[in-house]
Amino acid sequence: MHRRSRFILAAIPILALSIAVPFVNRVEPRILGLPFILAWIAFWVVVTPFVVLRIGQIEGRW
């Protein structure tokens, strides 16, 4: 579980914010008024801190 899973966890938001964005490159459905592509990016920006906190937990940092 330990060493590999933290790198997989770390890769998820990076891929979601880079490679995945061309695949969500559309306006609809609008979320809270934001075009979908922008809402997608904002969603991952908000989720990332929790992912990083989890990585720290797996590593036993806190």
Give the interface with other proteins as residue ranges (CB under 8 A). 10, 13-14, 17-19, 21-22, 25-27, 30, 32-35, 37-38, 41-42, 44-46, 48-49, 51-53, 55-56, 61-62
Residue closest to 59 by CA, chosen among 9, 6, 4: 6
Shortest gap between Cβ of 4 and other proteins (angstroms)? 14
Nearer to other proteins, 1 or 22 (CB): 22
Closest approach, Cβ 27 to other proteins, in A, equals 5
Give, as one character, the DSSP assignment of residue 2: H
41, with CB counted inside 10 A (0-12, 13-18, 19+), is middle
